[in-house]
Amino acid sequence: MLSPLQGIRVLGLEQYMSAPYCTMLLADAGAEVIKIERPGSGDPRRSIPPFARGEGGAQKAGGFMAYNRNKKSLALNLRSPEGRDVFRELAAQSDVVVENLRPGASAKLGFDYEDIKELNPRLVYAAISGFGRMPGFSGPYSDRPAFDIVAEAMSGMMNLVGFEDKPPAWTIYGLADVYSGMCTAYGIMLALFMREKTGAGQFVDSAMLDNMLALNERMVALYSVTGHSPQRGRLRHLFPRGAFRCSDGYLALNVPDDTVWKRLCTAMGRDDLIADARSASGTARAEHANELQPIIEIWLQDKTRAQAGDLLNASGVPAGPVYSAEDVFADAHVAARKMLQPVQDPEVGEYRFARSPVLLSAVHQHEAAPAPALGEHTRDILGDVLGYPMERIAALEQQQVVQSVAA
């Protein structure tokens, strides 16, 4: 069965999370992704715990395994002139380059978009950075490096996470990286679709700060409309929203309007709260949250998360249990959706990772190939893609321009 990106070749000048996650999405869709790695050490995430361990002492970093399935590894020394020549030859025969190097690094290597498009005008060149690199859109932070938490903080998102009497808190590790990877994959697809019409590639600029600010659009809209800056803690215009204790854990509940509030009251057997002045509107409920929360929790205290969730959902009140990782892995619906994709690694065995989230009716879900060993595909890429004879490949290995598993 045809895959959406079958026949598309992607070069990943990538490390850590954002660009590897982007190219993983492309690889899952059938693209040939060639991951460019430094000989000797490779992507830094190869050495970041936790590690999956196999028989005989083999180990692989879990984060690297999760974000690098279905890819090929080319260990290439880009600090050498010969290594840079190899990269240019590959770029001339590729459709997409994705990079998340430190700002300025690709230009120093001679690999920025202006350099590469001269070799391949059809190339789509996507750059992920903290603050953006598009000419005409540069700002005072454009040359700064950034990790995910910086983008969370400067987008205003971190200021909204946590409790009003506690310091700001981050959301989940790597959220800005993963979301930026998704946004960049979307931008690449737009550019490839446009190339079908124009025949020309283009530069795709993906800034982590931009991506997180767009994700935090509710803050932007509220401030634009009201002039008030939302703060962390309880919302001022609606209640209930949050996690409420059941007999075996917590249930997530959100009541965005009076209609859903009426349904909740009826489900709890408390129709008297529908017209009560303290709870008749979202603003009133927010003002009297300290009185209403115990009422909800008393009703929930003798019910499991599953019992309460079933009852509320049947009443038209969306609710769901607050899951741990163990709960997710045991959930029947997650299993039915095949969200946890098994990946069989020849060195450390089988593990499950989250699949790409979007399903297409005409695309079969293929078995995932494991994350590659460092330089696992070096010889194949140089021989099959660039047509190098084995003697030349051996010479590049001897000069430490490339590294191969078999070398």
Query: What pLDDT, in 10s, does the model give residues 112-166?
Result: 899 999 999 999 999 999 999 999 999 999 999 898 999 999 999 999 998 888 9
Whether the bond between 240 and the residue before it is cis, its omega within 30 degrees of 0, is yes
Residue 56: pLDDT band by 50, 70, 90 thresholds?
A: confident
User: Is residue 177 within 8 Å of residue 208, measured between CB atoms?
Assistant: yes
Query: Above 80 in pLDDT, residue 77?
Result: yes
Residue keyed to tokens 């703060």: 231
Angle between helix axes 258-268 and 305-314 (nearest 10 degrees) is 120
Please state, in angstroms and rounded to a whole number, the distance separating the CA atoms of residues 303 and 283: 28
Asked if pLDDT for residue 1 goes beyond 70, the answer is: no
Share of the chain above pLDDT 90, in %: 87
Rounded to two decimals, the pTM is 0.93
Nearest to 304, CA basis, from 246, 264, 245? 246
Angle formed at CA 154 by CA 149 and CA 160, multiple of 5 degrees: 85
Whether residue 9 is predicted with pLDDT greater than 70 in this model: the reply is yes
Known catalytic residue at 177: yes
Cα–Cα distance, 240 to 264 (Å, whole number): 10
Spatial CA neighbour of 84 closest among 36, 117, 127: 36
Q: What is the number of other CB atoms lying within 10 angstroms of the CB of residue 181? A: 28
Q: Find the catalytic residue in 28, 177, 205, 345.
A: 177
Question: What gap in Å lies between CA 275 and CA 246, rounded to an integer?
Answer: 26
Q: How confident is the model at residue 406 (pLDDT cuts 50, 70, 90)?
A: low
Q: Cα(174)–Cα(328) distance, rounded to whole angstroms?
A: 19
Cα 380 to Cα 343: distance, rounded to the nearest angstrom: 22
How many whole angstroms separate alpha carbon 219 and alpha carbon 22?
Answer: 26
Grouping H, G, I as helix, E, B as strand and the rest as coil, residue 120 is coil
Q: Is the pLDDT reported for residue 313 higher than 80?
A: yes
What is the rounded CA–CA span in Å between residue 71 and residue 380? 13
Q: Where are the alpha helices (DSSP H) in 245-388?
A: 258-268, 282-287, 289-300, 305-314, 325-330, 332-336, 378-380
Q: Which residue has the tokens 């008393």?
A: 298
